[in-house]
């Protein structure tokens, strides 16, 4: 069993909670209120800016040239492809100026990623970043299979269920396994912890959008 397979098996309950969350259930049905999807897209734009920064930091810490290239390409893909998706929905939803303030859950997630990448081991940094790739592909594929016809969120669904994004995920999984092959058992334990934390924060991110989460006070 590959190391990443053990990672995925450790989040079975979390993943089930994500795909059955009302946000994703209603997105699949095409009934998710536009206000909630717009909130999600605004926060996702802020999240991905920091996610790209974390990938760039990993490029600087990478142990070999191939890994450096992979992290740079990941960061470029986030900055170019997914940003284009956001801009499409910003135009369609009439959002002129996306929010600059992260929601509490977005703030927690991005700061966890940046702190892990900067202050923890290289191995933990990779494991913390992997759920954003992998969970989104699986959620995209799940929703694609059951999406209602004429779904207003079809562009989002097609992006994360698409072959191009799937290829990115495969490369991220392969890179994680390559890193784990050289890691000590202690580092592998920390990698599992980081993977689970990020997966929980993924659930929180969708939940915060569904609740239109605000800072209090």
Whether residue 131 contacts residue 198, with contact meaning beta carbons closer than 8 Å, is answered with yes
Whether residue 13 contacts residue 202, with contact meaning beta carbons closer than 8 Å, is answered with no
What are the tens digits of pLDDT across the range 34-46? 999 999 999 999 9
CA-based torsion, 144, 23, 14, 53: positive or negative: positive
Structure tokens at 180: 């784990």
Domains of the chain: 3-210 (1.20.910.10)
What are the tens digits of pLDDT across the range 184-196? 999 999 999 999 9
Cis peptide before 217 (omega within 30 of 0): yes
> Structure pTM?
0.96
What are the tens digits of pLDDT across the range 88-110? 888 888 876 668 899 999 999 99
């Amino acid at each position: 069993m590959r190391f990443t397979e053990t990672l995925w098996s450790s989040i079975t309950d979390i993943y089930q909670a994500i795909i059955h969350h009302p946000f994703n259930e209603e997105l699949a049905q095409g009934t998710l209120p536009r206000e909630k999807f717009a909130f999600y897209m605004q926060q996702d734009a802020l999240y991905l800016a920091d996610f790209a920064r974390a990938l760039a930091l990993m490029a600087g810490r990478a142990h070999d040239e191939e890994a450096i290239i992979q992290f740079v390409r990941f960061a470029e893909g986030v900055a170019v492809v997914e940003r284009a998706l956001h801009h499409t929905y910003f135009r369609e939803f009439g959002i002129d100026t996306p929010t600059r303030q992260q929601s509490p859950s977005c703030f927690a997630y991005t700061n966890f990623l940046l702190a892990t990448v900067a202050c923890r081991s290289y191995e933990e940094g990779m494991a913390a970043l992997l759920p954003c790739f992998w969970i989104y592909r699986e959620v995209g594929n799940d929703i694609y299979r059951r999406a209602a016809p004429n779904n207003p969120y079809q562009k989002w669904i097609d992006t994360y269920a698409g072959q191009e994004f799937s290829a990115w995920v495969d490369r991220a999984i392969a890179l994680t396994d390559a890193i784990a092959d050289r890691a000590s058992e202690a580092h592998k334990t920390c990698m599992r912890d980081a993977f689970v934390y990020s997966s929980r924060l993924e659930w929180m991110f969708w939940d915060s959008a569904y609740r239109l989460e605000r800072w209090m006070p």
